[in-house]
Structure 1
Amino acid sequence: MSTWSNVLNFKKIALTAQDSLPELALVDLADWGLITLIGEDKKSYLQGQVTCDVATLTADQSTLGAHCDAKGKMRTIFRLFHHRDGYGFLQRQSIMATQLPELKKYAIFSKVDIEQSNDVLLGLTGSKANEVIEREFGGEGDVRAITAGTAVKVDEQRWLIAVATAQAEALAGKLATEAVLSDSTLWDLYDIQHAIPRVDAATELEFIPQAMNLQAVDAISFKKGCYTGQETVARAKYRGINKRAMYIVSGNTEHCPQPGDALERSVGENWRKGGTIISAYKFADSQAIALVGLPNDLDEDSQFRLAGQDASWHKLPLPYSLEDDQ
């Protein structure tokens, strides 16, 4: 059940690997959380903390970015956008308790208030999503101020909606008869298919940004100047120190892999740990698809398996290029 509605039932949709995705789905993003940053120093403060260029982010744009520690290891990957009188900072709920205090650590020296939002987070997905956004909210651009919140275009078939509880309940009630209701696993599937990285509690402080392809999804600015972890990120680009990348893999499994699980690779007649599961989705027919961090110099025909299982997994093509990784 949804954490904010006692009436509507948001549950995992039974999809096989061959099924088309719903033309319209309303997704309860209960596994995600929103941070808000408000105050006259919000832009300058965040600019010195994260990999993306906050200063150039216009009101009708959103961007992916990362918040790293001093060694360049990621605490979180987020989507940033203008929200009400400040910024909205969308990230996984599982790392909120550890990452939020780190983001706030130096805020006492700036005029900025950083808090977790009580907004309800919904996703609207499918080929009819744009049509519904136009009908319900109107406006222009990829980020739109709406009653009591914001609508953010994520890709051609996805919108994020961050609104107050009353507006979320009204919208869900209105769309319940025309949209499939889903839990956040449908959003996971879209992210995996589009190779959009994330950091959960099990993978916090494990990867540098380029090891999850952030340079390929415009989540790193190499022109903005200093921020926490910037030296490591710059060395990864200009000195080629990064030896990992994120890939899409697919295979059979009885249970959905979890973030942090090991993916083994074949080495001769033996198996060794090859990478770490970042996110995964299991279809109803025992097929699964996942994002995994792997060495970036493996042969294209490398074979993989989940630790403790026999079924073979294989890499799928990425929807973007990693050629600029070095």
Structure 2
Amino acid sequence: MPTVIPSTTITDNVRLDHLAALDVKGADAEKFLQGQTSAQVSLANGEFAPLTCFCTPKGRMLANAQLLRLNAEHFRLVLSASLAPLLTAHLKKFAAFYRAELIHDTSVTFIGASENASALASSLGLTLPEKDFAQCGNDQASVVRLPGTTSRWLFCTTDTILNDTIDDQAQQAAWALEDIRSGLAWLTEAQQDQFLPQMLNWEALGGISFKKGCYTGQEVVARAHFRGQVKKRLMHASLNTTELPGIGANLITEQDKTMGEVVSSAKRDSNTVELLAVINTKAAEEDMPLYWEGNLLTLLPLPYPIERLDPEQLAMALKE
């Protein structure tokens, strides 16, 4: 019998300070990003906001993000606040050769919404997108619908009407838990330069275009896909424990052999933790018992199949 997971309760609009905005502006903004990121940048047209990532020449992820287009010469990357300064510094080395400016805009506020999303959208003059990865925006704000089994929207704005948005730890935990249940792992500084994009299931979420031209790390990422060389995968799991395992915490066998590491975790209730972890696929296939601090790991289903999903396909689906 499959494990029954209680539903997440995101009852209030919640400030998401763990996210940050990295804006790319200028006449060459699209051309510049096209050579650096896994996304087909032209697909980000103000109505579709694809996932994307930035890699080292060896194909390891420096950051993953969601890519929004705010106007013809203005893109916004939504990513972990811990990575925004690092990615800005990295990309500036290449932006110097383009008419493109990088701005880590700390004035942008990110708001997560579920039950009250319609009212918030109305107050900002936005139409609430109905399909996953769909974007709506105006000069005041933008909103994107996130994937997953719970209807969620991410708003970004500098509007002062959001000053009263709650900063509630319980609601932030509920949001983090829904990210986990959606199979969305957001890289942080602690695990930069460790994973191929496929290890975070990024191609299964439409975060890699295999139809675009070259970008940094593209050859390694493509080879791993077409030769099936990915031996570690992001998996959803639970632990019966009152403590949260930290980012990078090891998951070990009964013989103390490391077979995985935690990427993110959140409490389901006072005695249960759900997490996303990059785990050796052989260990999962053989149903090998894994432990954290003596607590047995229970694997749970992901809401998507582990197979390639082209962003071009997602963009087309929004037009239907």
The two structures share one fold, judged by TM-score above 0.5: yes
Determine the structure 1 residue equivalent to 2:23: 36
Determine the structure 2 residue equivalent to 1:233: 221
Is contact 1:28–1:122 with CA below 8 Å preserved after alignment? yes
- The amino acid that maps onto 2:9 is P
Deviation at 1:232?
0.4
Deviation at 1:182?
5.0
CA distance in 2, matches of 1:195, 1:45: 29
CA distance in 1, matches of 2:6, 2:209: 38
Q: What RMSD in Å do the two structures reach over aligned CA positions?
A: 2.4
CA distance in 1, matches of 2:231, 2:128: 41
Moved more, 245-254 or 120-129: 120-129
- The amino acid that maps onto 1:322 is I
CA distance in 2, matches of 1:160, 1:146: 15
Deviation at 1:203?
0.9
Determine the structure 2 residue equivalent to 1:207: 195
Written as runs of structure 1 = structure 2, the 5 A alignment for 1:85-234 is 86-130=74-118, 132-134=120-122, 137-139=125-127, 141=129, 142-146=134-138, 148-155=140-147, 157-164=151-158, 166-169=160-163, 172=165, 184-234=172-222
Deviations 1:213-244 (A, max 9, x none): 11100000011010000010011011222211
In structure 2, the gaps of 5 or more residues are 310-320
In structure 1, the gaps of 5 or more residues are 1-16
CA distance in 2, matches of 1:157, 1:106: 38
Deviation at 1:83?
2.6
Determine the structure 2 residue equivalent to 1:282: 267
Deviation at 1:132?
4.5
Written as runs of structure 1 = structure 2, the 5 A alignment for 1:239-254 is 239-254=227-242
Deviation at 1:154?
1.5
SS across alignment from 2:67? strand
1:305 aligns with 2:291: yes
- The amino acid that maps onto 1:303 is P
SS across alignment from 1:97? helix
Deviation at 1:38?
0.7
Deviation at 1:157?
1.6
Deviation at 1:321?
0.9
Deviation at 1:295?
1.4
Deviation at 1:103?
1.8
1:74 aligns with 2:61: yes
Deviation at 1:180?
7.4
Cα 1:64–1:294 change in 2 (3 A) is same
CA distance in 2, matches of 1:119, 1:182: 24
Deviation at 1:134?
4.6
CA distance in 2, matches of 1:82, 1:66: 16
CA distance in 2, matches of 1:126, 1:88: 22
SS across alignment from 1:202? helix
Is contact 2:242–2:270 with CA below 8 Å preserved after alignment? no
Determine the structure 1 residue equivalent to 2:276: 291
Is contact 2:135–2:145 with CA below 8 Å preserved after alignment? yes
CA distance in 2, matches of 1:186, 1:223: 36
- The amino acid that maps onto 1:290 is L
Deviation at 1:256?
0.9
CA distance in 1, matches of 2:208, 2:194: 18
CA distance in 2, matches of 1:182, 1:282: 10
CA distance in 2, matches of 1:200, 1:80: 17
CA distance in 1, matches of 2:302, 2:8: 19
- The amino acid that maps onto 1:276 is E
1:24 aligns with 2:3: no
- The amino acid that maps onto 1:167 is I
Is contact 2:239–2:298 with CA below 8 Å preserved after alignment? yes
- The amino acid that maps onto 2:261 is T
CA distance in 1, matches of 2:260, 2:19: 24
Determine the structure 2 residue equivalent to 1:54: 41
Determine the structure 1 residue equivalent to 2:312: none
CA distance in 1, matches of 2:206, 2:123: 30
- The amino acid that maps onto 2:156 is A
Is contact 1:64–1:219 with CA below 8 Å preserved after alignment? yes
Percent of aligned positions that are identical? 25
Deviation at 1:135?
6.3
Is contact 1:247–1:315 with CA below 8 Å preserved after alignment? yes
Aligned length: 298
